[in-house]
A and B are shown apart, each in its own frame.
Chain A
């Protein structure tokens, strides 16, 4: 069974840092791109970052570029998101999601982890 287990969320002050992790199992991790998607409380979904299977290609949403770093450890089947200079508007549930390819490109997200909550507040 494919499983993605997100962890590392918590309460952090504005300007602080946090590192999220996602442990993957049940599939060949090195065959897939991985992604982070977030959801502010009571709001919709927002793509955050993507990383290709060998970390060759990395993409960020403009809102987090320069502050967040996505990375992966293929030996450990794990995905990370280092979040620096956090702002109140970064408060959200953060989901890791496996990439779903179609026509030679990363297009969709399936499946998703259960999420880890990040709260940025003083």
Chain B
């Protein structure tokens, strides 16, 4: 089974900050990686799929990069509505989510 790790587990940031979250797969997953955003008490929302393709309606301040085993989600200028937990998910073999990264207000 493919395992996913994320770092950091939480990050404190201010509005306007650039935030970077990393995700690592235990084996090569090519470019089959997605990022989801989840706010408290809400369902997850697909932000980015296949590493770097923004889902419809997602602001351009979100971007993704990487391939193989190492991936990154970047929020270029953090907005108040971006405070949430972010999960990566591999889709190369089965479906596995990372443990999540909580983006908190500094």
Chain A interface (Cβ < 8 Å from any Cβ of B): 37, 44-47, 50, 59, 95, 100, 102, 105-115
Please name all residues of chain B whose beta carbon is closer than 8 Å to the beta carbon of A102 when the two chains form the complex: 32, 49-50, 91
Count A-B contacts at CB 8 Å: 58
Tell me which of A108, A112, A114 contacts B91 (CB under 8 A). A108
CA A37 to CA B87, docked complex, whole Å: 13
CA A47 to CA B36, docked complex, whole Å: 14
Contact A108 B89 (CB under 8 A): yes
The size of the chain B interface, using a CB distance under 8 A, is 21
Contact B49 A111 (CB under 8 A): no
**20 A-B pairs (CB sep. < 8 Å):** A44-B100, A45-B44, A45-B97, A47-B96, A47-B97, A95-B43, A100-B46, A102-B50, A107-B34, A108-B34, A108-B91, A109-B44, A109-B46, A109-B89, A109-B95, A111-B43, A112-B44, A112-B45, A113-B43, A114-B42
Contact B98 A44 (CB under 8 A): yes
CA A112 to CA B41, docked complex, whole Å: 13
Please name all residues of chain A whose beta carbon is closer than 8 Å to the beta carbon of B95 when the two chains form the complex: 47, 50, 109
SS class of chain A's interface: helix, strand, loop or mixed?
strand
